[in-house]
Structure 1
Amino acid sequence: MTYTVDFKNVSTTGLETSPVAEALAGLRANEARYFWTKYAHTFATVPATEAADTPAWVELILREERGIVVASPALEVAVSDGEGIHWVHVFYESGLSINVLWTVEPGGKRAVGFKLSDGMEVPQELGAFKFARQKSKLAGTIRGSYFVIKGEYGDR
């Protein structure tokens, strides 16, 4: 079932099992606001169980590029395409959000971004990363980091 994320009235729909559901919902709404402002794109999610190939693709990149295995289960997935960029977001029960920016044009930008919900600890698997802090009216304090993808992981 598709859920259209409302960045004006933040809802925990689909994220209820997270111990930081309110903060994760704010983080998801923050992403929705970004996509609406930058691309006039409506940000929609589906349960991860309905799009299992998407978190599997993200987890393949993490494992191959950095040896990272996410311990938390995926709750929701969002896939957005626009202006030659394929964006994939996976929201995890722990409060972690991972996005993959994949420029469709060969040789373009490709990166993985991590965002931590307010109130969650840095997951052990991401302990090697330094996180910058960003204030958000929707999500409180968001901590983020990223790395550039070097390999090829199929056309998405």
Structure 2
Amino acid sequence: MPHTVDFTTVSTTGLETSPVAPALAGLRANEARYFKNKHDHTFTVEPAADAQAVVDWVHKILKDERDITIASPPLEATEFEVEGTKWAYVFYESGLSINVLYSLDPTGKRAVGFKLSDGMEVPEELGAFKFARQKSKLAGTIRGSYFVIKQEH
């Protein structure tokens, strides 16, 4: 059952098994605030098991583009379209968040973003990436990186 992410009252609902659940909840709330403020889109998520097609699509892009397999189990996922761009998010037990920005226009932007929750280590499978730091009132320090998608997905 999908639920709306509240960015005024941060909740760990759905993320309780994560060792960094409060930071991951803040990261998820930070994304919800961004989409509400920038696109007037209400950010909803559902358990990963109920959004298996989204998780599979994200994992296929990671595998096909960079031969990356995420070791941590996915907890929640979502997929939506805003202003001609398909977005997918997967939130993992380790505290990792992966988002895919995929323009429906073949000449538009297409990328995979990684965000690490405050307090988590860089996963081994993402060790080749350099992570920039960003401060967030909701999530503390977020470390992020990305790569550009080259193939059609």
TM-score relative to the length of structure 1: 0.97
Partner of residue 114, structure 2: 114
- Distance in 2, matches of 1:63 and 1:103, equals 19
Equivalences, count:
153
CA RMSD in angstroms comes to 0.5
In the alignment, structure 1 residue 67 sits paired with structure 2 residue 67: yes
- Distance in 2, matches of 1:150 and 1:71, equals 23
- Distance in 1, matches of 2:108 and 2:48, equals 27
- Distance in 1, matches of 2:104 and 2:4, equals 25
- Distance in 2, matches of 1:92 and 1:67, equals 18
Give structure 1 regions of 4+ aligned residues with deviation exceeding 6 angstroms.
none
In the alignment, structure 1 residue 77 sits paired with structure 2 residue 77: yes
- Distance in 1, matches of 2:105 and 2:65, equals 20
Partner of residue 94, structure 2: 94
Partner of residue 136, structure 1: 136
SS of aligned partner of 1:28: helix
Structure 2 residues without counterparts, runs of 5 or longer: none
Point out the more displaced range, 51-60 or 131-140. Answer: 51-60
TM-score relative to the length of structure 2: 0.99
AA matched with 1:70: I
1:31-62 CA-to-partner distances (Å, cap 9, x unmatched) read 00000010000000010000111111101110
1:74-121 CA-to-partner distances (Å, cap 9, x unmatched) read 000121211101110000000000000000112211000000000000
Indicate the percent of aligned positions where both proteins have the same amino acid: 71
Partner of residue 49, structure 1: 49
- Distance in 1, matches of 2:78 and 2:9, equals 18
